[in-house]
Structure 1
Amino acid sequence: MIEEIATKNIAPLEVPLTHVVRAGDFVYLSGQIAVRADGTLVTNDFAAETRAVLDNIKAGVEAAGGTLADVSKTTVFLLNATLFEPMNVVYREYFSKPFPARSTIVAPLSNPDLRIEIEAVAYIPRNG
């Protein structure tokens, strides 16, 4: 059974998705974008955008009872390949060894103002 994990720290969107769901001991976070909890987009600085995305992931994982250390897999979507190294600099501020397994894909994003989106999977046992 899948259950929604509610968090007030991620802005609601006008699209048919749930930000965070639990399926057994796994927690899945939909692709997070650079939007603050109040709904404002962060678009002026790529490092700030990346931090906003990772702050949303952190908020979702914490709402499920975990920490970023419980994240086992991420998928990063970047607008272009030149953003790969700047993303890694900020990513290291949030994750440490052993880093989550990760895929990075260069692709256009749903909003033309966005340059990064990250989805995540965390392992957070219900009784752990």
Structure 2
Amino acid sequence: MSISDGPLFPPAVRAGEFVYVSGQASVDETGAIVPGTFAEEMHRSIENVRRVLEAKGLTLSDVVKVNAYVHDPADLAEYNRLYPTYFPWPRPARTTITSCLTDAIKFELDVVAHPSRR
């Protein structure tokens, strides 16, 4: 595949019925980082995931696995407080890693979704 064949980093890839969403951070439609509070960046990141899933005919309710990346471990309490507002019971499997992002962003996540989750 050459760069002219499509985006270097596709927003999502379908494998059978599974949809793997690439990492989504607090960026706008052009890919420019939109800085904000932790809560604002988390919200924008998850809204970006929601848009990618909708393009594939899925919703956040179809998510079976979340990988979250939190820049500052001090934000974990806020992350845990906000998480259930986006992923209600039964929640997807989850992995959270801290201290792994650049100073440019506070939060990023990637997800795996499957339509049978509904």
TM-score by length of 1: 0.78
The match for 2:11 among 11, 19, 28 is 19
Q: Which has the higher helix share?
A: 2
Question: What residue ranges of structure 2 are gaps of 5+ in the alignment?
Answer: 1-6
The match for 1:105 among 93, 97, 112 is 97
Tell me the number of residue pairs that the alignment of Structure 1 and Structure 2 aligns: 111
The match for 2:36 among 44, 51, 61 is 44
TM-score by length of 2: 0.84
Q: 2:73–2:99: 8 Å Cα contact kept in structure 1?
A: no
Amino acid at match of 1:83: D
The match for 2:24 among 32, 35, 47 is 32
Using the TM superposition, give the Cα deviation of residue 77 of structure 1 relative to its aligned residue in structure 2, in angstroms. 0.7
Using the TM superposition, give the Cα deviation of residue 34 of structure 1 relative to its aligned residue in structure 2, in angstroms. 0.7
The match for 2:76 among 77, 84, 98 is 84
Aligned-residue Cα RMSD (Å) equals 1.9
Alignment match, 1:119: 110
